[in-house]
Amino acid sequence: MACGAPTGQAGQAWPEGARFDYQLGAAYPPGDGVGLVVRDSTAEPAEGAYNVCYVNGFQSQPQDRDLWLEDRRDLVLSGDDGEPVTDPAWPDELILDTSTPAKRERLAEFAGEVVARCADSGFQAIEVDNLDSYTRSAGALDVEDNLALAAELARIAHEHGVLIGQKNAAELGERGRDEAGFDFAVAEECVRWDECSAYTDVYGQAVLDIEYTDDLEGPFREACERVPTPRSTILRDRDLVGPDERGYTYDACP
């Protein structure tokens, strides 16, 4: 059963059904009517909007690859051949090793520093990406490992007064909310993969959905009209580029 709108720091409630923009590739002024913005942890929050900070909690950021391999190699998952395991879709991202309590504690410390920076910068919430990294680990990790780390990240986020969102992993059902402590969800292509109800049944309208132009089946407006589609659903280009760049696309369900 879905709960009411979650509340973060200073009693600020999650803006259910708000039009939002997903600005991970570039930060730019929000368009008319946009009340919520998701930006990378390296960016500043958008003025006058509810801001969600992107944190890559279960894989490394591409620009930090050398840092993890040189200074934190034991926290990077290794394959049977001893080589670092990477995300097949994003080969510049290393999969982090969540398999033991000791490693999860250290991973939480590093991610916690980013969470604290987001909170100090004025973000009201964070989304933690790659919760489903265990599905790309060739069996070395499992859902319990990642839920345990997620629970620690949720504790840290709540200590800093920010909400925390489940990113994808529709198969978790209520476990993300009840065991990890997630307050809302960020789904990619839940319309495309017929997964929206898996999120809205748990989080109500505290769900952000991003559909992408390169894999959209039918007109976007038809997707908006489907019953389980969250009110906060947008259409974006896969690379999430800025308005001045080639390929930029943005549309939102009315």
Residue 88 lies in a domain: yes
Residue 178 lies in a domain: yes
* Predicted local distance difference test score (pLDDT) of residue 9: 57
Residue ranges of E strands in 12-124: 20-23, 36-40, 50-56, 86-87, 90-94
* Predicted local distance difference test score (pLDDT) of residue 1: 52
Give residue-wise pLDDT tens across range 86-114: 999 999 999 999 999 999 999 999 999 99
CA atoms in the 13 A half-sphere facing the CB of 80: 2
* Predicted local distance difference test score (pLDDT) of residue 12: 73
Q: Compute φ and ψ for 109, nearest 5 degrees.
A: -65, -45
Residue 66 lies in a domain: yes
Domain encompassing residue 102: 25-182
Short-list 139, 152, 193, CA closest to 170: 193
Residue 240 lies in a domain: no
Residue 195 lies in a domain: no
Collapse the DSSP code of 3 into the 3-class scheme (helix H, G, I; strand E, B; otherwise coil) and give the result.
coil
CATH number of the domain encompassing residue 125: 3.20.20.70
Confidence of residue 6 (pLDDT cuts 50, 70, 90): confident
How many of the other CB atoms lie within 10 Å of CB of 253?
21
How many of the other CB atoms lie within 10 Å of CB of 24?
17
Residue 209 lies in a domain: no
Decide if pLDDT at 57 tops 80. yes
Residue 165 lies in a domain: yes
pTM for this entry: 0.94
Residue 104 lies in a domain: yes
Decide if pLDDT at 131 tops 70. yes
Q: How many domains does the structure of the chain reveal?
A: 1
Strand order, beta sheet including 50-56: 20-23, 36-40, 50-56, 125-129, 163-167, 184-188, 207-212, 233-236, 250-252
Q: In percent, how much of the chain has pLDDT > 70?
A: 96
Query: CA 12, CA 250: separation in Å to the nearest integer?
Result: 27
- Identity at 6, one-letter amino acid code: P
Q: What is the mean pLDDT of the chain?
A: 95
Query: CA 17, CA 54: separation in Å to the nearest integer?
Result: 20
Integer-rounded Cα Rg, in Å, for the chain is 17
- Identity at 196, one-letter amino acid code: C
Secondary structure element (H or E) that encloses residue 156, with its range? helix 143-159
Decide if pLDDT at 13 tops 90. no
